[in-house]
């Protein structure tokens, strides 16, 4: 969650192709990192607007390792809106894509490029169709918050293309309508999604708690247990939990408000012990809610549980947390070390307990900041 590369704001480049006879193409490209919640969002009070039942807090990762890159293009020659995700043609008919497109189009402004002979008036945007191509440099729909990186990137890049001037709070509220967790990826560093009180969602926005330079020593290691697509999407999983889990309501009303305050304090004061205890407890409670759902949802698997045991044993033996772990809606472990020394020790322990097959060794990517390890843990 640190360093220059951690900037979540997509780099954009508006470009255009042959402006012959109005058959021009105007493009913008952006990149947004994913974010991992340390206090989880799980449950909506409004499905259409994507309003949550509790506040949540996350860390935005370094975009070099886990991010979505999206190019949006507009041209009078496009007969319809279309999208390709990781090279595959996907339907844009879902309400979420339409909501994001509509909200950005509503705020679109004049775009003029004299040199390239392109002039788009505010009111013209409604008649122009977009083509969207997005790639994730990490597993999609596997519990590493691809929807967060994806929708944050889509909203930001569309906004750039259409010369939208809204502030980040407003953009986060639009990204939220694509996927709840996406509102937090608009910012780098530590981010809080305030659930809000209003029924129209106007105050359900993300705010930055601390920027990416704030807690520079933290190292995040992601152990890809399985890059397979999960069986239960976050959307349908949390819908079932809201309908059937009594623990969810208790968690949202009684546990999370207090935990959010403590987490904000831990982040502010860089108190790793408190940060780690809260992070692990919240991950475990989120998975308990999944288990409390009818029928129960199992996002973690045996390997995930073995990773938890490894960390818990280490933490117990030292008497104070050495590593924090958290699992989103999938089996993949997000492990947070307070410094490089502990990160190195953790990698050693992981390698010892889960020796990668020979062929997998090359897929270890040990970066300066976040580390993506495809440990072949299946």
Where on the chain is the footprint of ligand ADP (CB under 6 A)?
Answer: 68, 85, 134, 136, 140-148, 150-151, 154, 179, 233-234, 328-330
Stretch that binds Co ion, among 12-20, 131-139, 140-148, 362-370 (CB under 5 A): 140-148
Phi, psi of 142 (to 5 degrees): -120, 15
| CB-CB contact of 222 with 373 (8 Å) | yes
Range 231-290, binding ligand DP6 (CB under 6 A): 234-235
Q: Minimum CB separation from ligand ADP for residue 28, in Å? A: 15
Stretch that binds Co ion, among 45-53, 230-238, 346-354, 366-374 (CB under 5 A): 230-238
Q: Which of 236, 348 has the CB closer to Co ion?
A: 236
Count of residues interacting with ligand DP6 (CB under 6 A): 15
DSSP single-letter state for residue 21? G
**Residue 341 neighbours by CB under 8 Å, 6+ apart:** none
Q: Which of 27, 333 has the CB closer to ligand DP6?
A: 333
Task: Give yes or no for residue 187 binding ligand DP6 (CB under 6 A).
Answer: no
| CB-CB contact of 187 with 60 (8 Å) | yes
Task: Give yes or no for residue 234 binding Co ion (CB under 5 A).
Answer: yes
Max CA-CA distance within the chain? 72
Pair of tokens at residue 151: 């929708």
Residue 41 binding partner per list ligand DP6, Co ion, ligand ADP, none, with a CB distance cut-off of 5 to 8 Å that depends on partner kind: ligand DP6
Q: Which of 67, 179 has the CB closer to ligand DP6?
A: 179
String of DSSP letters for 322-363? S-EEE--SSS-EEEEESSHHHHHHHHHHHHHHSPPPGGGGGG
- With residues binned 3-state (H G I as helix, E B as strand, rest as coil), the percentages for the chain, rounded to 5, are 40, 20, 40
Binding pattern to ligand DP6, positions 306-335, x when CB under 6 A?
----------------------xx------
| CB-CB contact of 100 with 111 (8 Å) | no
Residue 140 binding partner per list Co ion, ligand DP6, ligand ADP, none, with a CB distance cut-off of 5 to 8 Å that depends on partner kind: ligand ADP
Q: Which of 91, 258 has the CB closer to ligand ADP?
A: 91
Query: What is the enclosing helix (H) or strand (E) of 156?
Result: helix 146-161
Q: Minimum CB separation from ligand ADP for residue 176, in Å? A: 13
* Whole-number Å distance between alpha carbons of 247 and 243: 11
Q: Which of 147, 173 has the CB closer to Co ion?
A: 147
Q: Which of 235, 284 has the CB closer to ligand ADP?
A: 235
Q: Minimum CB separation from ligand DP6 for residue 244, in Å? A: 17
Stretch that binds ligand DP6, among 24-32, 152-160, 178-186, 217-225 (CB under 6 A): 178-186
Q: Which of 48, 361 has the CB closer to ligand DP6?
A: 48
Q: How many CB atoms are closer than 10 A to CB 318?
A: 11
Tell how far CA 263 is from the center of its chain: 19
Range list of H helices, 292-318 = 302-318
Q: Which of 208, 234 has the CB closer to ligand DP6?
A: 234
Task: Give yes or no for residue 147 binding ligand DP6 (CB under 6 A).
Answer: yes
Q: Which of 239, 262 has the CB closer to ligand DP6?
A: 239
Which residue's CB atom is positioned nearest to Co ion? 147
Cis peptide, bond prior to residue 39, ω within 30 of zero: no
Q: Minimum CB separation from ligand DP6 for residue 143, in Å? A: 7
Range 146-165, binding Co ion (CB under 5 A): 147
Q: How many CB atoms are closer than 10 A to CB 23?
A: 11
**How buried is 28 (Cβ within 10 angstroms: 0-12 exposed, 13-18 middle, 19+ buried)?**
buried
| CB-CB contact of 155 with 123 (8 Å) | no
**Residue 144's beta-bridge partner residues?**
none
In the complex, the residues that contact Co ion under the rule CB under 5 A are 147, 234
In the complex, the residues that contact ligand DP6 under the rule CB under 6 A are 37, 40-42, 50, 56, 145, 147, 179-181, 234-235, 328-329
């Amino acid at each position: 969650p640190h360093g220059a590369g951690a900037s979540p704001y997509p780099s954009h480049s508006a470009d255009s192709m042959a402006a012959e006879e109005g058959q021009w193409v105007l493009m913008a490209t952006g990149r947004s990192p994913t974010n991992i919640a340390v206090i989880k969002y799980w449950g909506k009070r409004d499905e259409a607007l994507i309003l949550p039942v509790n506040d949540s807090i996350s860390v935005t990762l370094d975009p070099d390792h886990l991010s979505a890159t999206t190019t949006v293009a507009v041209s009078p020659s496009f007969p319809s809106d279309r999208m390709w995700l990781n090279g595959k043609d996907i339907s844009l008919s879902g309400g979420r894509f339409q909501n994001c497109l509509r909200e950005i189009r509503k705020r679109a402004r004049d775009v003029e490029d004299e040199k390239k002979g392109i002039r788009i008036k505010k009111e013209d945007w409604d008649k122009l169709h977009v083509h969207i191509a997005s790639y994730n440099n990490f597993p999609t729909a596997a519990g590493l918050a691809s929807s967060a990186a994806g929708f944050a990137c889509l909203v930001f890049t569309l906004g750039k293309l259409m010369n939208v001037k809204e502030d980040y709070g407003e953009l986060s509220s639009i990204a939220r309508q694509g996927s709840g967790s996406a509102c937090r990826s608009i910012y780098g560093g530590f981010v809080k999604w305030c659930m809000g009180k209003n029924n129209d969602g106007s105050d359900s926005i993300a705010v930055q708690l601390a920027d990416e330079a704030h807690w520079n020593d933290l190292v995040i290691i992601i152990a890809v247990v399985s890059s397979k697509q999960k069986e239960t999407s976050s959307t349908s999983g949390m819908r079932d939990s809201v309908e059937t889990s009594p623990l969810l309501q208790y968690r949202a009303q009684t546990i999370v408000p207090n935990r959010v305050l403590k987490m904000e304090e831990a982040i502010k004061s860089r108190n790793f012990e408190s940060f780690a205890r809260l992070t692990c407890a919240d991950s475990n409670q989120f998975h308990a809610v999944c288990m409390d759902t009818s029928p129960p949802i199992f996002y973690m698997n045996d390997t995930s549980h073995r990773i938890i045991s490894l960390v818990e044993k280490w933490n117990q033996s030292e008497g104070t947390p050495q590593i924090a772990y958290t699992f989103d809606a999938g089996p993949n472990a997000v492990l947070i070390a307070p410094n490089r020394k502990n990160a190195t020790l953790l990698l050693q322990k992981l390698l010892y307990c889960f020796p990668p097959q020979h062929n997998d060794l090359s897929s270890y990517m040990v970066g300066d900041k976040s580390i993506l390890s495809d440990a072949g843990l299946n």
